[in-house]
Structure 1
């Protein structure tokens, strides 16, 4: 029998799971790594959920936990995502099939974005998600001005990567 906390978590995760898929797509290169990172982010979200105060939107909080988890694992494993076992809680979440065909037109952009550092990737990701600079700054823990300056530099860098 699910508790109210478990029920609300599963409901919110199902509603916003595309956020996690997008983070996984950004930081992994294959199906297995994508699934492993998805599982790890879900575990970290569940561990942190009781502390979620609702000061920010759930999706903003989810971006922050997801990106921090991906960046931490990415740095620890030097580009090979590893997972940790989590015993005791089992969720049955209806996972949507991640359809890569919808993003074929973004393939070139993703290749270029993969050449950026961790923070630059996160900033581009949030920018492409149509987040305003205030939400980007809150998610990444930087000032709005810093987010704008970094984004302008990243745009220049991406143009150089895409048009050598």
Structure 2
């Protein structure tokens, strides 16, 4: 590949680092394995770059590849039963009490998200990244109606988990 293609690839990684990190941390509970999954995703993105069809949105292409690799990695992890709790390493705690409360709730949210099935986990992560239902439908290969229904069910389930947690 040419230098311009390499620079473009580095730009893609930089632009999508945030979502890649969220996908990695949602599908890989063991912090020791995060780098491995990140490497797998980067390798697959690099291999697929030459086949990227510019008629499709770049974000859709990145999300699909990253999610497919993460789901595959997650399934392998289920076979090994090797994952540690996600809550141990997801976010750093700050000294500001308001920030600590926000961080604690965010940790809980992502902890609850790890309990969702693979498909719902992908849908809610894309939603939390401010993707429209249309974009989520394109990325996941389902209808907008299906996205809407799934989001409603996921939100209901997450609210229930929060409610149960708050009453304990």
| Superposition TM-score, scaled by structure 2 size | 0.79
Unaligned runs of 5+ in 2: 83-89, 94-101
Deviations 1:68-120 (A, max 9, x none): 110122123316599xxxxxxxxxxxxxxxx8328824101011111100001
Deviation (angstroms), 1:3: 3.1
Q: 1:48 to 1:126 in 2, by over 3 A?
A: same
1:70 aligns to 2:61 (yes or no):
no
CA distance in 2, matches of 1:79, 1:158: 26
The total of aligned residue pairs comes to 149
- Which stretches of structure 1, 4 residues or longer, exceed 4 Å deviation after superposition? 79-82
Whether the 8 Å CA contact 2:123–2:136 is kept in 1: the answer is yes
More helix by share: 2
Larger radius of gyration: 2
What is the 5 A alignment of 1:14-53? Answer: 14-53=14-53
- Structure 1 match to 2:99: none
Unaligned runs of 5+ in 1: 83-98
- Structure 2 match to 1:101: 92
Whether the 8 Å CA contact 1:41–1:70 is kept in 2: the answer is yes
